[in-house]
């Protein structure tokens, strides 16, 4: 059993495995070299050889406990035929949402557009470097994908004024998203992903009264589906106000916390294994500051099943040496 599975399944408190969100990415010079020659982000995600190489880059460099496949949550709307492109210094831009066209997409159409992701997962999971380490597959949560598909770009701080005006449309899209997320998850697991993480990047945009409809129920359906496939599932409902309520209702195997929550409150209120929390900006400071903040989290969670990670993705301007220092601090903690 891998270190991460020992924490999630056995609730082991004697180890602190570590992986990092966006560990395969722009802070690594070897990634930037590939990215310079491959400017189309979607094409890069669908190049099974390059995405495998990128996924394994951080594991060749650092003593991490998992690979997370180099892909994107927006491969789902892409697979459904909605145009997705990434504009430099702006982020994703999605095309018009044609509900009638998307309603006609079937599993064969979807997998035809996304199958190279699964081939990359197969290659990654069979690489010898993954010995006793996990291959993490992932999806966006239904709410976050709904936001991107209707908003057609990152909402940053707020949604379009008329976002909720067509209830019928929203419910239809949510059903389609859920159906194809299950297909996407199943294909990742069938090709070697042995943990699934569900990213709800925009959970924090909702008022409390809207959480049951848009976050709790759709995410619970996915969590139960992953559990039915006998694979651990981690949820990351970023900036949600009430992690305790989320965990009691959705009941993932582990939860990733963001850096805006107080870890001392989390350790008191949550029974399930916890992952993450460290502010990625700490990696932009100095080694002394990094050590202090890292040890703070390790001390708080020392009697609680805990996987070390960040409270969001590693920032592009991060020095890889700082990442190495972080991993050493975690590995040497007793």
Encode the chain (334 residues) as per-residue pLDDT tens digits.
999 999 999 999 999 999 999 999 999 999 999 999 999 999 999 999 999 999 999 999 999 999 999 999 999 999 999 999 998 778 899 999 999 999 999 999 999 999 999 999 999 999 999 999 999 999 999 999 999 999 888 887 667 778 888 888 999 999 999 999 999 999 999 999 999 999 999 999 999 999 999 999 999 999 999 999 999 999 999 999 999 999 999 999 999 999 999 999 999 999 999 999 999 999 999 999 999 999 999 999 999 999 999 999 999 999 999 999 999 999 999 8
What contacts 24+ positions apart, CB below 8 Å, involve 213-216? 214/142, 214/143, 214/146, 214/174, 215/141, 215/143, 215/240, 215/246, 215/250, 216/246, 216/249, 216/250
Quick one: CA torsion of 135, 229, 239, 260, rounded to 10 degrees?
A: -50
CATH code of residue 286:
3.20.20.210
What is the residue-wise DSSP string for 232-257? -EEEEETT-S-HHHHHHHH--SEEEE
The count of structural domains within the chain is 1
Domain of residue 103 covers 3-332
Q: Among candidates 6, 14, 26, 9, which has minimal Cα distance to 232?
A: 9
pTM of the model: 0.97
């Amino acid at each position: 059993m891998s270190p991460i599975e020992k924490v999630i399944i056995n609730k082991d408190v004697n180890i602190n495995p570590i992986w990092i969100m966006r560990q395969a990415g722009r802070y690594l010079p070897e990634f930037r070299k590939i990215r310079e020659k491959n400017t189309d982000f979607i094409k890069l995600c669908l190049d099974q050889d390059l995405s495998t190489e990128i996924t394994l880059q951080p594991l060749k460099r650092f003593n991490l406990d998992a690979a997370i496949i180099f892909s994107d949550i927006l491969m789902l709307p892409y697979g459904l035929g909605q145009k997705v492109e990434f504009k430099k210094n702006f982020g994703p831009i999605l095309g018009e949402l044609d509900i009638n066209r998307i309603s006609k997409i079937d599993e064969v159409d979807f997998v035809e557009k996304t199958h190279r992701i699964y081939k990359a997962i197969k290659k990654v999971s069979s690489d010898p470097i993954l010995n006793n380490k996990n291959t993490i597959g992932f999806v966006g949560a239904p709410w976050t994908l709904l936001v991107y598909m209707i908003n057609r770009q990152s909402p940053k701080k707020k949604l379009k004024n008329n976002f909720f005006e067509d209830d019928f449309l929203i419910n239809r899209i949510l059903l389609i998203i859920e159906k194809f997320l299950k297909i996407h998850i199943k294909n990742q697991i069938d090709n070697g992903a042995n943990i699934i993480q569900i990213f709800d990047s925009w959970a924090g945009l909702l008022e409390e009264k809207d959480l049951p409809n848009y976050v709790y129920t759709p995410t619970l359906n996915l969590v139960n589906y992953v559990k039915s496939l006998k694979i651990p599932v981690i949820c990351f409902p970023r900036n949600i106000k009430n992690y305790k309520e989320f965990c009691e209702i959705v009941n993932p195997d582990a939860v990733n916390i963001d850096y805006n929550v107080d870890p001392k409150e989390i350790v008191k209120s949550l029974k399930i294994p916890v992952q993450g929390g460290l502010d990625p900006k700490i990696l932009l400071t100095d080694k002394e500051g990094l050590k202090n903040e890292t040890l703070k989290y390790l001390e708080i969670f020392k009697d609680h099943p805990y996987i070390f990670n960040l409270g969001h993705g590693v920032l592009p301007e991060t020095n890889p040496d700082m990442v190495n220092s972080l991993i050493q601090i975690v590995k040497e903690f007793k």
